[in-house]
Amino acid sequence: MIRIERRLTEARWLVVAVPLGSLVGAAVLSSIILFLTGHDPIATWARLLDRGFFASGALSATLVTATPLLLTGLAAAAAFRMQTWNIGAEGQLYLGAIGASGIGIALRGQPALVIIPAMVIAGLVSGAAWGAIPGVLRAYTRTNEIITSLMLNYVAGLLMSYLIFDSHSYWRDLSSFTARVFPQGKYLSDAANWPSFPIGGIVIPFGLLLGAVAAAFLWLVYTATRFGFEARVIGDSRAAAHYAGIRTRRKIVAVMALSGAFAGLGGASEIGDFRHVLDPRGLQQASFGYAGIVVAALARLNPFAVIVVAILLGGLSNAGFSLQGATFPAGLVGTLQGLILFCALAGELLVHYRVRIGRPTRKAPLGRVEIA
């Protein structure tokens, strides 16, 4: 018999132990899946960790992958904290990539000091606009934002394909014969490449620094502003917020737009740091938006923890991309992310509840008062 009792206070040490335990639990469970499908779990994990973190240059590549994950993780954290379920970070990231690459093409020939800030702003604005759509629908027509934001992911993906496959598109490269036969986007000028900063053998991409600033910003918003306080009240109890006279509708739109802006910046960073071209297939395969949900949940919605978790999961994703092949089947990274999330959810129980194993006592023991 398993009994579950509510804890009166959150157990502090569990706040760190549970995410770590989740990673270990997911590693064990995925090893079982690997073993059952005829793969050597230890060898697979050794290659995964080596390619993600320890091989030469691996950590620098991991930081590039971690950047969009950090930003989509912040997007999920920003919305989930208010119990607003923005599942649309994927599409908002695409829009950010579309916006940043569009402005990058338009400003060809301009110096980096003009192009790069313009790309950052374009990414933020287009992501925010796409995120605001389900926000407005939620706030003013009470439409479930989970489904609308998710449907918009598919629409954004198709929009991105359209911009590359349509022969009149501004984004499509038509300058050479091969580009006319095999549709691809226009590459940005070298001035649009975001800078990177080598520190002790590790190269830190500009986008990661922006992501760290965004994390600090989100933390400040939620801890030090009236806006964040009201959003937290809405998250904890919508009814209480209503009675307190908090303008719930505006806040929902604002938080969805903020969330979308983070994801959009993630899309801009993919263009500026890594791809330098709008690449629908590559962005769709990476599925950073969905992985951001895993990042945020494992970080328990803490913006600074999001940074650490994004780098950890970024390593796994990065290794997954580079190892993919016959001995390293596709789908393993997604499976692993799902398992991590399951373990984190199960672990959340331990933070809030005490689990007792044994038969329920029939009689209360005399002379002893148990303090939970």
Partner 1 sequence: MINDSVLVVIAASAISYGTPLLFAALGELLAERSGVLNLGVEGMMLIGAVAGFWAVQTVGGPGWVSLLTAVVVAALAAAATSLIHAFLTITLRASQIVSGLALTIFAGASGLSSYIGHVADLGGKPARHEFDALNVLGLRDAPVIGPILLHQNALTYVSWALVALTLFYLYRTRPGLHLRAVGESPGTADAMGVNVTAYRYIHVMIGGALAGIGGAFFSLAITPSWLDGMTSGAGWIAIALVIFAFWRPELALVGAYLFGAFSSLAFTLQSRQVHLPPEVFASLPYLMTIVVLVLVSTGWARRRLGAPAALGVPYVREER
Residue 276, judged by CB atoms within 10 A of its CB (0-12, 13-18, 19+), counts as buried
Distance in angstroms (rounded) separating the CA atoms of residues 94 and 266: 9
With respect to partner 1, which residue has the nearer C-beta, 3 or 250?
3
Closest separation in Å from C-beta 159 to partner 1: 7
User: Which is closer to partner 1, CB of 35 or CB of 197?
Assistant: 35
- Least Cα distance to 298 among 339, 261, 266 occurs for 339
Q: Which is nearer to partner 1, 124 or 339 (CB)?
A: 339
Task: Rule CB under 8 A: say whether 154 interacts with partner 1.
Answer: yes
Among 287, 308, 322, 351, binds partner 1 (CB under 8 A): 287
Residues pairing with 2 in the sheet: 357
- How far apart are CB 137 and partner 1 at their closest, in Å? 6
Distance CA 287, CA 307 (A): 18
Binding flag, residue 146, partner 1 (CB under 8 A):
yes
Q: Is 158 in the site for partner 1 (CB under 8 A)?
A: yes
Is-contact 226 74, C-beta < 8 A?
Answer: no
Question: What residues from 5 to 64 belong to the interface with partner 1 (CB under 8 A)?
Answer: 5-6, 33, 37-38
Q: Could you give the angle at the alpha carbon of 66 between the alpha carbons of 299 and 134, nearest 5°?
A: 70
Task: Provide the minimum distance between the beta carbon of 115 and partner 1 in the complex, in angstroms, as a whole number.
Answer: 28
63-102 residues in contact with partner 1 (CB under 8 A) are: 85, 87
CB 84 within 8 A of CB 145: yes
CA-CA distances (angstroms) from residue 43 to 35, 39, 101, 195, 324?
A: 11, 8, 40, 36, 15
Residue 293 engages partner 1 in binding (rule: CB under 8 A): yes
346 binds partner 1 (CB under 8 A): yes
Residues in the chain: 372
Pick the binder of partner 1 from 7, 144, 281, 356 (CB under 8 A): 144
Task: Assess contact for 222 and 235: CB atoms under 8 A.
Answer: no
Binding residues for partner 1, per CB under 8 A? 4-6, 33, 37-38, 85, 87, 137, 141-144, 146-148, 150-152, 154-155, 158-159, 161-162, 165-166, 285, 287, 290-291, 293-294, 297, 329-335, 337-339, 341-342, 345-346, 348-349, 353
